[in-house]
Every structure is written in C-alpha cells, then in structure tokens.
A and B are shown apart, each in its own frame.
Chain A
Amino acid sequence: MTKQEKDAKQQKATAYWIENIKYLFILLTIWFLVSYGAGILFKDALNQIKVGGFKLGFWFAQQGSIYVFVVLIFVYVRLMNKLDKKYGYGE
C-alpha cells in the first residue's frame, strides 16, 4: 500500500468514526432526557398532566422510558447499517 492509499484509508476511518460519535451523542441525549429527565428530574412537573389514569411523570418512569429505549436501539441499528454501507464497511 502506498502512503497515499494509507492516508485515504485513514481519513475514511476517521470520517466514519466522527459520524458514528455524532449519532451516539444524539441518541444518548434522548436516552437521558426520557429517563433521567422526564422520569426523575421533571417528574413532579409532568405529574400535573394526566393521560388516562397515568400521571405523566410516573408513566415515563415506569413505562415510557422503556419503550423509548427499545426504539432508540432499533434506530441506531438502522443508522449504522446505512453508515456502514456508505463507507463500504457493510458485510
């Protein structure tokens, strides 16, 4: 491998990694907001709102956050599969 090829390969790997980190940052922000935010820190405020028999803060803590967790992982799987293809790392 020539030096140029090596550099190109290195650049590609770095670009891929930066995009990956960007996804992680966005997804983990949502992860934090639904669980620690809605379920704990802002629970009391959200509890003023009622949906059916559920106080909203209580619902996020015992139900909603878990649903969002599942969705987050599947969104991540999709995003990464696309990213892998874009950079030719797919298998």
Chain B
Amino acid sequence: MANSIMLLESLGVQNWTYIIVGITFTLYIGIAIWSRAASTKDFYVAGGGVSPLANGMATAADWMSAASFISMAGIISFAGYDGAVYLMGWTGGYVLLALLLAPYLRKFGKFTVPDFIGDRYYSNSARFVGVICALLVSFTYVAGQMRGVGLVFSRFLEVDINTGVMIGMFIVLFYAVLGGMKGITYTQVAQYCVLIFAFMVPAIFISIQMTGNPIPQLGFGGQLADGSGTYLLDKLDGLSTELGFAEYTEGSKSMIDVFAITLALMVGTAGLPHVIVRFFTVKRVKDARKSAGLALLLIAILYTTAPAVSVFARTNLIETVSNKPYESMPEWFKKWELTGLIDFDDKNNDGNIQYLADASKNELVVDNDIMVLANPEIAKLPDWVIALVAAGSLAAALSTAAGLLLVISSSVSHDLIKKMVNKKISEKGELIAARLSAVVAVVVAGYFGIHPPGFVAATVALAFGLAAASFFPAIILGIFYKRMNKEGAVAGMVVGILSMLFYMLKFKFGWFGGGGKEDWWFGISPEGFGTVAMILNFVVSIVIVQFTPPPPKKVQNIVENIRIPSGAGKATGH
C-alpha cells in the first residue's frame, strides 16, 4: 500500500497527463464507434431524438471552447471588472436563444440555419448569404480551437505544437466523420463531464487554500484564510493600485464600450450556427426550451467559477513574482518561460522582478492563456490535478471544434449541394458528401492551427460581430414580424455584414485610412461594433420592407405555424 502511494507520487505531471488524456481519448473513440450515423438525419441532427439533459450537456460542451476554458479566466484576471463583458455576454445570449429563437426554430424543424433563412425568405440568394456567413463564422472559430489543442500538447506532453495539432485533428476526424451529429452529441456529453470536473477541482482546492471556503463563488468575496480579517477583493484592489494598475473591481473601459461589447457578444452567441443547430436535435418544442435552460445552468457552473479563479490567480501571481528575485522563481515559471508565454526582461538589472502597469518600467509579461493552465502549479497542487486540467482543456477545444466542423460540413453537403447544386442527390450520396466535406474541413482547420494567420485573435471578435450583424436580426424578424420579406432580409444582412467588415478592417487592420482608439465611432471598439451593425441591419430591413411587396401567403403560413408549439414532429430536411 505504502509502495503504491509512493509510486503515484513519483509519477510526475507528464506521466499523469499521458494516463488521464489517454483514458479520455479512448472514451471518446469508444463512444464514436458506438454511435455511428446511418442516415443523413443521424448525421445532421442525431436522429432528432436527443433528451433535453443530453442536449443541454452537449450544448454546454459545444459552447465552452478553448477560449472559455483556457483563456477567459486569464483575460478577466488582467481586465478585472471589464472581464464582465465576457461573463455576461457569453451567458446572457442564452436567454435570448431560449426565449426568442430555439423553440421556433425547433418547430420549423429543418437541419441547418441557412435552411431557415432560405425557406423563410423564399430565396436561394438569401440561403447563399446564410451559407457564406455560417462558413465564415465557423472557420474563424475552429482555427483557434486547433491552436488550443496544440498549445496544451506542447506544454504538457512536451511534443511539438504541430504534432499536437495533428493528433487533435485525427481524433476529431474520427468521431465527426464517423458519427456526424450523433457521434458528436454523445462525445460532447462525456467531454462536458471531463471539462467541468477539471475546471472545478483546482478552483475548489485554491478557494480552500486562500479563503477557507470550498465554494469558489463565495470564496472570492470572503476573507483571507490567514486570519487577518481582510477581504480578498480589498487586498487585490490594494495590490493592483500599488503596482499602478486600475482597481481590480473598477476596470478601465468606458461604460458605452462595456455596454456595446456585452450586447454584441450576447446577440452573437444567440446567432452562432453551431449553437442554434443543437436545438434541432431534440424531440419537441418543449424540450428545446428546457434544454436551453439546462445548457445555461451547466455553463453557469464554469462561468461563475471563472471570475473567482481570476481573482485567486491574480493575487497568487502578484504575491509570487512582485519584487522577488528572479533566481528564486519556482519551476513552473521557468517551464512557461520556455514556451514564450512568460517573458522576463531585467530592465534595471537588479535581479528582482518588477511587475508594474508602467510599460517602461515593467519587466514581466504574462500571457492570458497560461493563467488557468499554470494556476494549479502556482498554487502547488498535486500533479494529477495539473494533468486533469490538461485533459479538460483538450475536451473543451475538441468538443467545440467538432460542433463547428459539423456546421461546415452540413452547410456544404446540405445547403450548397442538396439544396442548390444537385437537388436530386440520393440520401446515400448526401451522406458521403457530408463525410467528405467534414474531412476537408478538418484538414483546413488543422492547416490554420499549424500556420495560424496573424488575424486569429481579431477574427474571433469578427465571428461574433458577424453572427450578431447577420443571422440574429434575420431570424428574429423572420419569426416575430410576419410582413418581413426577402428584400428586407437580404438587404439587412448585406448591410450588417459589410459595415461590420468595414469597421474591423479599418480599426484592426488599418485599411480605409485606419485609425486609433480616439477615432472609434461613439467610442465603441471593434469588438463592440457588432451591436451597431446589428442595429443597422434591423433598421435597413424594416425600412426596405415598407416599400416592397409582402411575402407570399405560403410563407406567412409558415410563420403562423412556427409560433404554435404543438406538432413539431422530428426535424426533417424535406
């Protein structure tokens, strides 16, 4: 007994990571083989009979990407109050989704989002605009996921970052191509369990260490465990101002920008095709509503813990490094330095680390992405916890990548090939086309993962902005405004997308004369401009409708029909 405990302790982070990642990967592949897709309906919507709880879990895993798991708590820990834009933006969208979109789209009962756009606006040009938006949004997103997979592999298994991306590609390829939506749904259920466990365990450990409270959500508002009676947040506010940063609980963005970014992210969330399509997989309208609630509940567990983790990590980091000699830094510091994600430059040659807000005197740069990954090491937690975090990040990245790849492949095989190019394609032919396009999509995503274009970070904001500026108004008006016609919808989507692209290109890439922060319209950053573009879309759509003929009677009947929940039947592509 004593021997085996000794053995467990001597395993080390790397072996633990091999073991835990190995077990989870075997599990995903096992599920994929068990849930192969036999029909296009299996492939696109998992046969349409997924239970609300399974769909809620799958939606949560689908939604929580490498960005939520790895980056978000880190970003918040550097942004303080301003980090709320992500917390509220990426959860509040589910309220819109549950109340305004999911039930009606489920009643509509087709396979994809461009399907709805194409049928509701009785036009293949509308469908085509939908396909382009879906592809654009999904590809920008998926490249980031592959990069996340590579990052985790390279740090924890010490393989080359490119080899890491290849391994990730292989795994996703296996279950997305074989199982389609059915395979993805059930692997996502498993991945949710892995990722939430991996996120909560270190958070609970650290919360007990720092505040004595096992619930992180309460712990970060509590007093320090050292008996000083000081509140953790007061201490962090003090540390921050001492080093010249803004007070942690105050933030530094303008109110209008916080408002605009939050709204753009919320509306963008509700307009993301890989999230919307999940609600096509349940049986009844009632189930769609319920599973949206369950999805948000399961997401909220991570999203309410993340800001606590941010506070713990930020406090720990400052206390570990600030004004401490470089030589005395623990092992994790040196390891992360090797990856380039921690960078120390001893400007005043005193051998100590000065970590300050003032860029000319600051000597330490810490990348957002390592706060969650390094957090267990900073807090000196056991090796298996560190390995668990690695497995959790992989689960988060892979589940989102798979969901996005499915949107890409169904946009191509269903919306482009079946609905526009070759209407007579057989069920079998369509299934083959779906699988082939999934393969191509994985390869393209992997290529971007290995050779990340410099604009990945910028395009994630673009993905949300585009979804907010295009799909959201078109779908909402399609449901709530019966008079809405194709002229209005197409004009609105085109204006929305183009204005979003223009603003991004101008302020992120310096085109059209470029410009800095002081030139932003109404003081709104490119990240928040989706809100303005969305409003433009609404205004243009509604104005154009007044001067163009109403939609045909048949389409008005569709609208009346989707407003009534009964008789949804199963999702159908015909």
Contact = CB atoms under 8 A, between A and B. Distances in A.
A59 B88 CA distance: 12
Contacts of A91: 284-286, 565-568
Contact of B300 (A58, A61, A70): A70
B259 interface: yes
A73 B227 CA distance: 40
21 contacts: A35-B262, A39-B88, A40-B255, A52-B221, A52-B222, A53-B220, A53-B221, A53-B231, A58-B81, A61-B88, A62-B84, A62-B87, A63-B217, A65-B88, A65-B91, A65-B92, A66-B87, A72-B95, A73-B293, A89-B564, A89-B566
B221 A67 contact: no
Interface in A67-91: 67, 69-70, 72-74, 76-77, 80-81, 84, 88-91
Nearest to B237: A55
A35 to B, nearest CB: 5
Contacts of A65: 87-88, 91-92
Interface string A7-20: 00000010011001
B166 to A, nearest CB: 37
B158 interface: no
B83 interface: yes
Contact of B234 (A31, A47, A51, A53): A53
B444 interface: no
B297 interface: yes
Interface in A18-70: 20, 24, 27-28, 31, 35-36, 39-41, 43, 47, 51-55, 58-59, 61-63, 65-67, 69-70
B303 interface: yes
Nearest to A84: B565
Interface string B246-273: 0001100001001100110000000000
Contacts of A89: 564-566
Contacts of B259: 36, 40-41
A36 B92 CA distance: 10
Contacts of A69: 91-92, 94-95, 296, 300
* A53, A59, A73, A89 — most chain B CB neighbours (10 Å): A53
B563 interface: yes
Nearest to A12: B564
B99 interface: yes
Contacts of B297: 70
Given A67-B300, A77-B293, A55 B94 contact: no
B223 interface: yes
B289 interface: yes
A78 B161 CA distance: 48
A39 B84 contact: yes
Contacts of A20: 563
Contacts of B303: 66
A16 B88 CA distance: 31
B108 to A, nearest CB: 16
Given A73-B98, A76-B289, 10 more contacts: A36-B259, A52-B222, A58-B249, A63-B307, A65-B87, A65-B88, A66-B304, A69-B92, A70-B297, A76-B98
